[in-house]
Amino acid sequence: MNPARYRGFASRPIVFVLIAALAGGLGLVLAQRVFSPTLAVPAPLALKSVRLIEPARPIADFQLTRSDGSVLTATQLRGHWTLVFIGFSHCPDVCPTTLASLAQAQKTWESVPEDHRPRLLFVSVDPERDTPKALGDYAHFFHPATIAATANEPVLGEFAKALGLVYMKVPQANGDYEMDHSATLVLLDPQGRQAGLVRPPLQAKDIAADITLLAERRP
């Protein structure tokens, strides 16, 4: 047998193996390019005011008293993005300024379908003076859709602590008192988890746009 012909004949299986391996490699590359978009991580949202917490933090259930006397629980807030702000009706500056600013955001949200419209929850840290009716009158002066609620201790303190918020009674020389409290807003997602923060200075336009975007992208 001609040795040259023998070597050529013997090398053919190796050539076929190499061709098959190359084809397989090309097929894998193409498959990754075709199917990888379905596995890609979504691009982060371009938010201006809201700072998202990743992953969102579950919070313990709670029971607050709404301005109409009914009970408000964490379950009742699910299905909507909810912005939480703590304060009190006798607040001389931060609370009225914040609620007036957020009212502008709430007016923007009126165009969002009700089934996933963002909400604002205002919780009084001064239940001694803020009766449910007084609290409702105060909050609804800024916007009628605001959910106003409060609770007695220790429920109120546990609620604030669960959200990382603080408040403290500060006696005054005249025998009266003020309430120092967090000015940061907490954002709850539709699953009732702590999903973000909004820190001062507050920009109503940016807050409205950010939470509207979240409601559209992450219902």
Q: What is the pTM of this model?
A: 0.80
Residues 187 and 153 occupy one common structural domain: yes
Domain count, the chain: 2
Apex 181 CA angle, 177 and 185, nearest 5: 150
Taking the C-alpha atoms of residue 123 and residue 188, their distance in angstroms, rounded to an integer, is: 14
Count of C-beta atoms within a 10 Å radius of residue 210: 25
Name which of 178, 182, 177 is nearest 161 in CA terms: 182
- Tell me, yes or no, whether 44 lies in a domain: no
Question: Residue 212 belongs to what domain range?
Answer: 51-217
Q: Which amino acid is at 188?
A: L
Measured distance CA(155)–CA(175) in Å, rounded: 26
Q: CA geometry: angle at 198 spanning 104 and 71, to 5°?
A: 75
Q: How many whole angstroms separate alpha carbon 106 and alpha carbon 143?
A: 7
Examine the domain organization and report whether 164 and 73 are in the same domain. Answer: yes
3-state helix, strand, coil in the chain (%, to 5): 40, 20, 35
**Same domain as 16, residue 94:** no
Pair 158, 60 in one domain: yes
Tens digits of pLDDT across the chain (219 residues):
444 443 443 444 443 433 344 444 444 333 444 444 444 445 567 899 999 999 999 999 999 999 999 999 999 999 999 999 999 999 999 999 999 999 999 999 999 999 999 999 999 999 999 999 999 999 999 999 999 999 999 999 999 999 999 999 999 999 999 999 999 999 999 999 999 999 999 999 999 999 999 998 876
Burial grade of 159 (CB within 10 A; 0-12, 13-18, 19 or more): buried
Residue 60 shares a structural domain with residue 142? yes
Is 96 in the same domain as 203? yes
